[in-house]
Structure 1
Amino acid sequence: MEPVPVLVLAFTTAMVGLYARRHRLAERRAEEVFRESLEAGLSEPVSLHPVIDPSLCIGCGSCVEACPEGPHVLGLVGGRAQLVDPSHCIGHGACREACPMGALELVFGTKKRGVDIPLVRPNFETNVPGIFIAGELGGMGLIRNAIEQGKKAIDAIASLDGIGRGDRADVVIVGAGPAGFAATLAARQRGLRYVTVEQETLGGTVAHYPRGKIVMTAPVQLPLYGKLRFRETTKERLLELWHEAAQRAGIEIRTGERMEEIARDGDGFVVRTDKGSYRTRAVLLAIGRRGTPRKLGVPGEERTKVVYRLVDPAQYRGRRVLVVGGGDSALEAACSLADEPGTTVTLSYRGTAFGRAKPKNRRRVEEYRDAGRLEVLFESNVVTIGERDVVLDRKGESITLPNDAVIVCAGGVLPTPLLRRLGVAVETKYGTP
């Protein structure tokens, strides 16, 4: 045999062997991550997520590499792709786009956990003419997707009969997160008469993101501003950019104003808030899935020491604080409080594991707990809130803790009753698109 072919054969054999070894190591790592997820009770995805058809998957690993959240959310197990760290999946959808076989489908909820999703048409109008839904409330909470939906909803609203006529607004936009903010810019760009109300501040849910990286899978066009070209940024920089865009466009957003009711008014609606009412041809709900803070419904919750959002950890310095919840906001609040000198922090969660929180937050809580900086009480529920203490039930055992403040981070109540009163169809998804 000639020397050159021998060298080529040897090189090819070595490369194939190296690939096979790396493939086996990757599979073992994926199996290990999946086993750890099951053992920790973190087997349920928290958002839109992929399901893989094993009959179509060829095990190429394109989806694994495409995930913006890292290399161990999806993995290859038994030669097929699998969601190995479900709690870390946030529904980017890049995996589906990367699959050459169309083996991945994005779904809401699981067989165990249903998710209420309002039914909308391709133009984001609900079954009730004139009521539109965009962004997280409709199930698509990623920044880029929400921005695109907000713009497309305004495109549809601009084509409605009655727009630009009479003494009413063309559209009332409820919420100023990614979808609502983009919709407001688009409404201004199109010359629509709009009113935008936001119960908190510009940014909506984004304003409550933890400090650090925000990932966008592709650039997106912001009306009256231009293309956002970054693939990653920080919450602080994104909000700064939005304030800059709002000022440049000259838009008005009525922050600190909460929507309370929507009623029919001829071919339009009346939107009532805690500060007034607005007649409008159309309504765009872009309020996110946080909704109104979920209350515990226990005696003593009306006390002034109970709040539903951590604003300034320093104000709790030296105090005894109970944080209630198991999501990212609860874990971040508990750790921020534990960083304050002299603060005693207890984190109460009704579940057996922090399945709804990001891994980095779970690791941080574990480190703080192991270091004695905070106490974690799983499978516990608040029973009563006293003036100087709180009573919890933990698997039938009553626990009384000295207490100066309670911070409830139990998520939000979706406006499902309001939607149903309006006649908007809402479907509970159990692992379906």
Structure 2
Amino acid sequence: MEDVIIIGAGPCGLSAAIECQLQGLSVRVIEKYNIVHSIYLYPTHMQFFSTSEALEIGDIPFVTPGDKPFRHEALAYYRRVASHYNLQVNCYEEALSIDRKPEGTFTVRTRTSSGEELEYSARHVVISSGYFDHPNLLGIPGEEREKVTHYFREAHPYTGMKVAIIGGSNSAVDAAMELIRVGAEVTIVYRGEGISSHIKPWVKPLFESMIDKGRIQMRTSSRVISILQDRIVTESLTDGTTTELENDFVLALTGFRPDRKLLASAGVQMSDDMDKPVFDPETMESNIPGLYIAGVVASGRNANEVFIESGRGHGRLIARHIMNTPSSEA
């Protein structure tokens, strides 16, 4: 019997594990992939918007040469933190269900990468699963083609190719800037009327310059309505006119959404639109006593409601509440 089982080994899940462990609680972390898998899925050369200090967990300094760290530095940092605290992380093991027993404890059923199904008992459960497994789909003809991806890793495979980027967030801008460096012909198709105000301030002037110079084509107030093998069809949201563009690859960088299935199966109450779990923001406890929410899974439709710098504090609230709950046997 564990005191706490945490589902998800992202930064917020690791932070919750550390905070609980520091209180003397026995902790096991269940992770479907590798630790901080969401960061692993970021573009290879991505630089964070946040400072390294804002990404720290467990009071372990995140020392980097620059103010804003890169993806590879974050991966090394979180590996080091998990090792420092000797966290028990079961990687490549997927949580399938959470059942609360009449006496108030929980049974967590999992499946390993080899297909073996296991069961664990715990007094408390923290759900800190991420959202990168579930991209926001466009729902248009051709989205299933091999030339379409919702993940951008690096520019090299697109050298000299005609690439359409759907979206106008930082991920779209960063991808466009990398792509033009390898000679790709880049067209951004964005529903907004202009460049997003949330673009990284140190990137925005360079991006605007590339548009002004014609290095990047940008179609605002537009959407892609069909993806064909050698072209895409766009539609203007102002007058409804359509345009066909030659195309080799499509990067549909339209964001991601958290997976709610595990929450729902555990009986966690959702908001009226079934989009956001109901929990006490002072303790992060859901409507199920002893079952807590941490990290981005606590957000609504917009996953950007919760960042690492805000979600990393959830673990401290959870640990404090567990220790202050009279029924806790820890």
Fold shared by both chains (TM-score > 0.5): yes
2:297 corresponding residue in structure 1: none
The answer on whether the counterparts of 1:196 and 1:254 sit within 8 Å (CA) in structure 2 is yes
Shift of 1:328: 0.8
SS of structure 2 residue aligned to 1:401:
strand
For residues 160-199 of structure 1, the aligned pairs below 5 Å read 165=1, 170-186=3-19, 190=24, 192-199=26-33
Q: Deviations over 1:153-203 (max 9, x none)?
A: xxxxxxxxxxxx3xxx55442333321122334556646251331546526
Does the 8 Å contact 2:231/2:247 carry over to 1? Answer: yes
Give the whole-Å Cα distance in 2 for the aligned partners of 1:344 and 1:407. Answer: 13
Query: Could you say which residue in structure 1 is the equivalent of 2:309?
Result: none
SS in 2 for 1:376: strand
SS in 2 for 1:215: coil
Pick the structure with more helix per residue. Answer: 1
- Distance in 2 between residues matched to 1:405 and 1:368, nearest whole Å: 20
* Displacement of 1:214: 3.5
What is the CA distance between 1:314 and its match in structure 2? 0.3
Matched, 1:270 2:128: no
Quick one: distance in 2 between partners of 1:333 and 1:274? Answer: 34
The CA deviation at 1:327 is 1.1
In structure 2, the residue matched to 1:348 is 189
1:332 CA displacement: 0.6
One-letter amino acid of the structure 2 residue matched with residue 372 of structure 1: G
* SS state at 2:146 partner: coil
- Partner residue of 1:245 out of 72, 81, 84: 81
Decide whether the 8 Å contact of 2:192 with 2:221 is kept in 1: yes
Count of equivalent residues: 259
- Report if aligned partners of 2:170, 2:199 keep a CA contact under 8 Å in 1: yes
Aligned equivalent of 2:258, options 390, 407, 414: 414
Answer whether contact 2:52 2:69 (CA < 8 A) is retained. no
CA distance in 1, matches of 2:263, 2:80: 33
**Compared CA separation, residues 219 and 411, structure 1 to 2 (3 A):** closer
Q: Could you say what secondary structure the match of 2:202 adopts? A: helix
Amino acid at match of 2:192: G
SS at match of 2:214: coil
User: Could you state the TM-score of these two structures normalised by the residue count of structure 1?
Assistant: 0.51
Between the aligned partners of 1:219 and 1:388, the Cα distance in structure 2 is 42
Q: 1:399 aligns with which of 220, 243, 252?
A: 243
- Listed one character per residue, the Cα deviations across residues 189-227 of structure 1 (whole Å, up to 9, x for unaligned) are 64625133154652634863832674266796627xx45
Report the residue type matching 2:108 in the other structure.
V
Write the distance in 2 (CA, Å) between the matches of 1:270 and 1:219.
29
Task: Please give the secondary structure, in 1, of the residue aligned with 2:36.
Answer: coil
Q: Is the 8 A contact 1:205 1:290 kept in 2?
A: no
Query: What is the one-letter code of the residue matched to 1:323?
Result: I
**2:93 & 2:165 partners in 1: Cα distance?**
27
The answer to whether the Cα contact below 8 Å between 1:391 and 1:398 also exists between their aligned partners in 2 is yes
- In the alignment, what sits opposite 1:363? 205
Partner deviation per Cα, 1:306-360 (whole Å, 9 max, x = no partner)? 111111210111111111111111111111111112x111111111132443333
Distance 1:233 1:252, change over 3 A: farther
Question: Once structures 1 and 2 are overlaid, which stretch shifts more, 170-179 or 348-357?
Answer: 170-179
- In the TM superposition, residue 264 of structure 1 has moved relative to its aligned partner by 2.3
- Paired amino acid for 2:69: T
Contact preservation (8 Å) 2:6, 2:27: no
**Match of residue 146 from structure 2:** 304
Match of 1:328 among 157, 167, 170: 170
- Seen in structure 2, the aligned counterparts of structure 1 residues 262 and 368 have a Cα distance that, compared at 3 Å, is farther
Cα 1:283–1:392, aligned 2, differ >3 Å: closer, same or farther?
farther
Structure 1: which 5+ residue stretches go unaligned? 1-164
Q: Supply the distance in 1 between the matched residues of 2:129 and 2:62 (Cα, whole angstroms).
A: 22
The residue identity in structure 2 corresponding to 1:324 is I
Distance 1:293 1:284, change over 3 A: same
Question: How far off is 1:410 after superposition?
Answer: 0.8
Cα deviation per residue 1:104-137 (whole Å; 9 max; x = unaligned)? Answer: xxxxxxxxxxxxxxxxxxxxxxxxxxxxxxxxxx
Q: Is the 8 A contact 2:225 2:233 kept in 1?
A: yes
Q: Is the 8 A contact 2:27 2:88 kept in 1?
A: no
Which amino acid in structure 1 is aligned with residue 212 of structure 2? D
Tell me which of 341, 364, 377 is aligned to 2:219: 377
Structure 2: tracts of 5 or more residues without a match: 272-277, 279-299, 306-330
CA contact (8 A) 1:187 1:194 kept: no
Match of 1:423 in 2: 268
| 1:57-136 mapped onto 2 (5 Å cutoff) | none
Q: CA RMSD in A?
A: 3.6
- Contact 1:219-1:229 within 8 A present in 2 as well: no
* Distance verdict in 2 for CA 1:199–1:308, change over 3 Å: farther
CA distance in 2, matches of 1:374, 1:325: 14
Cα distance change on mapping 1:377 and 1:218 into 2, 3 Å: closer
